[in-house]
Chains A and B, each alone.
Chain A
Amino acid sequence: MKKIEYTKIKGHSIPYYGLLAGLGFTILLGLLSTWYMEHNGHHVTGMTNQIVWGMPHVFAIFLIIAASGALNVASIASVFGKKIYDPLSRLSALLALALLAGGLVVLLLDLGRPDRLIVAITKYNFKSIFAWNIILYTGFFGIVGAYIWMMMDHNMYKFKKKVGLVAFVWRLVLTTGTGSIFGFLVARSAYDAALMAPMFIVMSFGFGLAIFLLVLMASYNWTGRELGDAVVARLRNLLGVFVAASLYFTIVYHVTNLYITEHHGVEKFILSDGGIYTNLFWVGQVLIGGLLPLALIYAPGVRTCRKTLGAISTMIIIGGMCQVYVIVIGGQAYPMELFPGYEVSSSFFDGVVGQYSPTLPEVVLGVSGMAVSLLLVTFAMKALAFLPSSLADSVADPHAAK
Chain B
Amino acid sequence: MSDQINDSRRSFLSKAAIAGSITIAPGVFLHQTAHAKPDDQAVSNDTRWGMLIDTDKCAKGCTGCVDACNNEHGLTGFGRPETDTQYIRKVSLVEKQTGHEISLPLMCQHCENPPCVDVCPTGASFKREDGIVLVDKHICIGCRYCMMACPYKARSFVHENIEDQTLSAPRGKGTVESCTMCTHRVDKDGIPACVEACTEDDHNAMLFGDLNDPDSEISKELKKHGGKQIRADLQLNTGVRYQGL
Asked if B176 contacts A187 (CB within 8 A), the reply is no
A123 to B86, CA, bound (A): 28
Hey, which chain B residues are within 8 Å of A114, CB to CB?
A: 141
A129 to B120, CA, bound (A): 8
Identify B141's interface contact among A112, A181, A332, A349, CB under 8 A. Answer: A112
Asked if A332 contacts B148 (CB within 8 A), the reply is yes
- 1/0 per residue, CB under 8 A from A, across B70-105: the answer is 000000001011111110011111111100001000
A332 to B157, CA, bound (A): 15
Hey, which chain B residues are within 8 Å of A128, CB to CB?
A: 118-121, 145
Query: Given A338-B151, A344-B93, does the pair A52, B144 have CB atoms closer than 8 Å?
Result: yes
Identify A43's interface contact among B83, B90, B176, CB under 8 A. Answer: B83
- 1/0 per residue, CB under 8 A from A, across B152-181: the answer is 110111111100000000001111100000
Identify B231's interface contact among A120, A130, A185, A338, CB under 8 A. Answer: A338
Hey, which chain A residues are within 8 Å of B173, CB to CB?
A: 41, 112
Hey, which chain A residues are within 8 Å of B123, CB to CB?
A: 123-125
Query: Interface range on chain A: under 10, 10 to 19, 20 to 34, or 35 or more?
Result: 35 or more
Identify A347's interface contact among B83, B89, B96, B118, CB under 8 A. Answer: B89
A38 within 8 Å of B (CB atoms): yes
Hey, which chain B residues are within 8 Å of A338, CB to CB?
A: 106, 151-153, 230-231
- 1/0 per residue, CB under 8 A from A, across B105-127: the answer is 01000000001011111110000
Hey, which chain A residues are within 8 Å of B153, CB to CB?
A: 49-50, 336, 338, 348, 350
A222 within 8 Å of B (CB atoms): no
A residues 20-64 in Cβ contact with B at 8 Å: 38, 40-43, 48-50, 52-53
A345 within 8 Å of B (CB atoms): yes
Hey, which chain A residues are within 8 Å of B102, CB to CB?
A: 342
Hey, which chain A residues are within 8 Å of B90, CB to CB?
A: 346-347
Q: How many A-B residue pairs have CB under 8 A?
A: 167
A251 within 8 Å of B (CB atoms): no
A111 within 8 Å of B (CB atoms): yes
Asked if B91 contacts A344 (CB within 8 A), the reply is yes
A residues 315-353 in Cβ contact with B at 8 Å: 332, 336, 338-339, 341-350
Asked if A339 contacts B93 (CB within 8 A), the reply is yes
Smallest CB separation, B86 vs chain A (Å): 5
Query: Given A112-B176, A338-B152, A350-B89, does the pair A49, B147 have CB atoms closer than 8 Å?
Result: yes
A130, A187, A188 — which one has the most chain B CB atoms within 10 A of its CB? A187
Smallest CB separation, B155 vs chain A (Å): 8
Smallest CB separation, A215 vs chain B (Å): 30
User: B residues near A, CB below 8 A?
Assistant: 66, 78, 80-86, 89-97, 102, 106, 115, 117-123, 139-145, 147-153, 155-161, 172-176, 230-231, 234, 245
A355 within 8 Å of B (CB atoms): yes
Hey, which chain A residues are within 8 Å of B149, CB to CB?
A: 185-187
A116 to B81, CA, bound (A): 28
Smallest CB separation, A234 vs chain B (Å): 40
A113 within 8 Å of B (CB atoms): yes
Which 4 pairs across A and B sit closest by C-beta, in order of nearness? A112-B142, A112-B174, A130-B121, A187-B151
Hey, which chain B residues are within 8 Å of A40, CB to CB?
A: 160-161
Asked if B121 contacts A342 (CB within 8 A), the reply is no
A119 within 8 Å of B (CB atoms): yes
User: A residues near B, CB below 8 A?
Assistant: 38, 40-43, 48-50, 52-53, 111-114, 116-117, 119-120, 123-125, 127-131, 134, 181, 184-188, 332, 336, 338-339, 341-350, 355
A41 to B150, CA, bound (A): 22
- In the complex, 16 of the A-B residue pairs with CB atoms within 8 angstroms, ordered by the A residue number, are A38-B174, A48-B83, A49-B83, A50-B153, A111-B141, A112-B176, A116-B142, A123-B122, A130-B143, A134-B121, A185-B115, A187-B151, A342-B102, A347-B81, A347-B86, A350-B153
Hey, which chain A residues are within 8 Å of B106, CB to CB?
A: 338, 346, 350
Residue of A nearest to B154 (CB): A348
Asked if B156 contacts A49 (CB within 8 A), the reply is yes
Identify A345's interface contact among B92, B147, B245, CB under 8 A. Answer: B92
Smallest CB separation, B223 vs chain A (Å): 25
Query: Given A343-B93, A347-B86, does the pair A120, B141 have CB atoms closer than 8 Å?
Result: yes
A117, A342, A345 — which one has the most chain B CB atoms within 10 A of its CB? A342
Asked if B157 contacts A187 (CB within 8 A), the reply is no
Query: Given A116-B139, A125-B121, A130-B119, does the pair A341, B80 have CB atoms closer than 8 Å?
Result: no
A134 to B123, CA, bound (A): 14
Query: Given A112-B158, A131-B121, does the pair A342, B140 have CB atoms closer than 8 Å?
Result: no
